[in-house]
Amino acid sequence: MFVTADNDIGADVGDTVRIELDKRIKRKGFSLAYLSIPGLDIIMGFALLSLASYFCFRTLRKLDKSHRMVVTRVISDYLFAVERPSDEEMRYLKYSGHH
């Protein structure tokens, strides 16, 4: 699997890393995902849910297009790995120009 992420911590090619969304983006996503309005009857509730879903998914789509994941920490350094790289890792290294 290929993932595009900002590398602010300086991980090298082949390092195993953990990635996650930026904290600001997480807060926006959580606030949109848990939007609710109690006390409405079924028809108005469904209409508002549909409207809120439309705007939330539209905003989430914009966030997805405009923000990338970031590397937060290096879990293991590839240079000291005892195991042989998997076929997927070898294909990545071959096609990305890194050996």
Name the residue with higher pLDDT: 3 or 11.
Answer: 11
pLDDT digits (tens, 9 = 90+) for 5-19: 888 888 888 888 888
- pLDDT of 46: 81
Domain boundaries, the chain: 5-96
Contact 93, 99 (CB under 8 A): yes
Looking at residue 79, its pLDDT comes to 64
The DSSP annotation for 18-51 comes to EEE--HHHHHHHHHHHT----S--HHHHHHHHHH
Encode 8-41: b = buried (16+ Cβ within 10 Å), e = exposed.
eeebeeebebebebeeebeebbeebeeeeeeeee
Residue 81 has pLDDT above 60, yes or no: no
Total-model pTM: 0.31
Strand partners, 20: 70
- 24-77 pLDDT, tens digit each: 888 887 776 666 655 546 777 788 889 989 988 888 888 777 777 778 887 766
